[in-house]
Amino acid sequence: METKVNYAAVGAFVVVLGVAFVVGLLWLVSGGAFQKKYDFYLAIANESVAGLTLNAPVKYTGVDVGKVQDMQLAPGNPEQVRLVFAIEHGTPIKEDTVAVLKTQGLTGIAYVELSGGSRDSPPLRATVAGELPEINTKPSLSARLENLLTTLLAKLDSTSGSINDLLSDENRKAIKSALADIAAVAHTLAARKDSIDAGIASATRTFENSARVTAELGPVLDRIGRSADAVRKMGDEAARASASAEKTVDSVGADIKRFTADTLPELQQLLGEMTVLSGSLRRLIEETERNPRGFLFGRSAAPDGPGERPVERKQNENN
């Protein structure tokens, strides 16, 4: 009895199995369950990236964390290179993270080294929506050496030019003349060596005498200082005596003012009374000189006038 085979089912099974095999193979090639997720970042290099290729490693403190995804000249500025990094998701890319181009060993294979990323720095975010976050870059060691060598060569060139100017024919002649003058002065000094020695000895004696004079001036200056102190003390005492005399004068002036205010009116009144008394005494003396008897017996009656009778005179006296 023959077994009936469904060729259509067998063919469909083979086709499905082949498709599944191809899909599984592609899945395994792409990483399968272990496929990594990447975040993309932008970096602008201001130097040559010679030796750097696509899929070149990107390292973070020496650890592979991604690769170079794209590399092209920056639009509008051919001196810059626009780099796109595919970095594993979860890598701590911070705002202070810096990318530097480095060369690995002697092979010259270039890669990108990330550094920085302090703990307190915030994660790097895109400043404009729809654009990639940009990682800052620093010049590589080769670029720094190139700049240093360029600067050094420029300075060497400038120094060489200065030396050439210094060693010109005119300057060489001036230097030669100066050396000749120095030689002449040296010969003159050598010829007058004895005179110079005698002058030095005389100067030495002068210095010694000056030292002795200075030593002797010390006690004199001390005595002058003591005399100045004595004069200063005398001045202080004179000032104190002057102040005391001033106080005495002020006291006498106050007494005189009190005497003038209290005694002078009484003295004036006394002088007035003495003047009146003196006038009275003067009249008394004059009266006594004219009629001494009247001073002893009183004033006598005046004699009768011509034709006057005693009775009328008596009545007149009584009236």
Q: What is the pLDDT of residues 245-287, one digit of tens each?
A: 667 656 656 666 665 666 667 777 777 777 877 777 777 777 7
Among 93, 113, 138, the domain boundary falls at 138
CA distances from 184 to 144, 178, 187, 190, 194 (A): 54, 10, 5, 10, 18
Q: What is the pLDDT of residue 13?
A: 80
Looking at per-residue pLDDT, the higher value among 82 and 191 belongs to: 82
- How long, in residues, is the chain? 319
- The identity of residue 124, as a single letter, is L
Local structure of 77: helix, strand or coil: strand
Residue 127: inside a domain: yes
Contact call for residues 288 and 295 (beta carbons, < 8 A): yes
What token pair was written down for 171?
A: 């300057």
Query: Are residues 198 and 118 both part of a single domain?
Result: no
pLDDT band at 301 (very low <50, low <70, confident <90, very high): low
Local structure of 92: helix, strand or coil: coil
Residue 75: inside a domain: yes
CA distances from 69 to 8, 17, 80 (A): 47, 35, 17
Residue-range definition of the domain harbouring residue 232: 192-286
pLDDT band at 306 (very low <50, low <70, confident <90, very high): low
Query: Are residues 124 and 203 both part of a single domain?
Result: no
Query: Are residues 206 and 133 both part of a single domain?
Result: no
- The DSSP call for residue 116 is -
Whole-number Å distance between alpha carbons of 146 and 47: 11
Query: Are residues 109 and 203 both part of a single domain?
Result: no
Query: Are residues 204 and 277 both part of a single domain?
Result: yes
Residue 292: inside a domain: no
Q: Which stretch of DSSP H or E encloses residue 26?
A: helix 7-29
Q: What is the pLDDT of residue 311?
A: 47
Residue 152: inside a domain: no
Query: Are residues 45 and 117 both part of a single domain?
Result: yes
Contact call for residues 40 and 67 (beta carbons, < 8 A): no
| Residue 315 scores a pLDDT above 60 | no
Q: How far apart are the first and last CA of the chain?
A: 224
Query: Are residues 55 and 117 both part of a single domain?
Result: yes
CA 266 to chain centre: 80
Residue 315: inside a domain: no
- How many structural domains compose the chain? 2
Residue 156: inside a domain: no
Among 115, 138, 161, the domain boundary falls at 138
Closest CA relative to residue 40, chosen from 72, 65, 61, 60:
65
Average pLDDT on 105-120 reads: 81
Residue 14: inside a domain: no
Query: Are residues 133 and 199 both part of a single domain?
Result: no
Query: Are residues 127 and 39 both part of a single domain?
Result: yes
Whole-number Å distance between alpha carbons of 7 and 22: 22
Query: Are residues 38 and 133 both part of a single domain?
Result: yes
Query: Are residues 53 and 132 both part of a single domain?
Result: yes
pTM of the model: 0.43
Q: Out of 65-69, 70-74, 247-251, pick the least confident.
A: 247-251
Query: Are residues 39 and 128 both part of a single domain?
Result: yes
Residue 96: inside a domain: yes
Say which residues have a Cβ less than 8 Å from residue 64's Cβ, sequence separation at least 6: 57, 58
Three-class SS string for 243-306?
HHHHHHHHHHHHHHHHHHHHHHHHHHHHHHHHHHHHHHHHHHHHHHHHCHHHHHHCCCCCCCCC
pLDDT band at 193 (very low <50, low <70, confident <90, very high): confident
Q: What does the pLDDT look like over 201-258, one tens digit per residue?
A: 888 888 887 777 777 767 767 777 777 777 678 777 777 776 776 676 566 566 666 6
Average pLDDT on 291-298 reads: 56
Buried b (16+ CB within 10 A) or exposed e, 185-214: eeeeeeeeeeeeeeeeeeeeeeeeeeeeee
Percent of the chain with pLDDT strictly greater than 70: 76
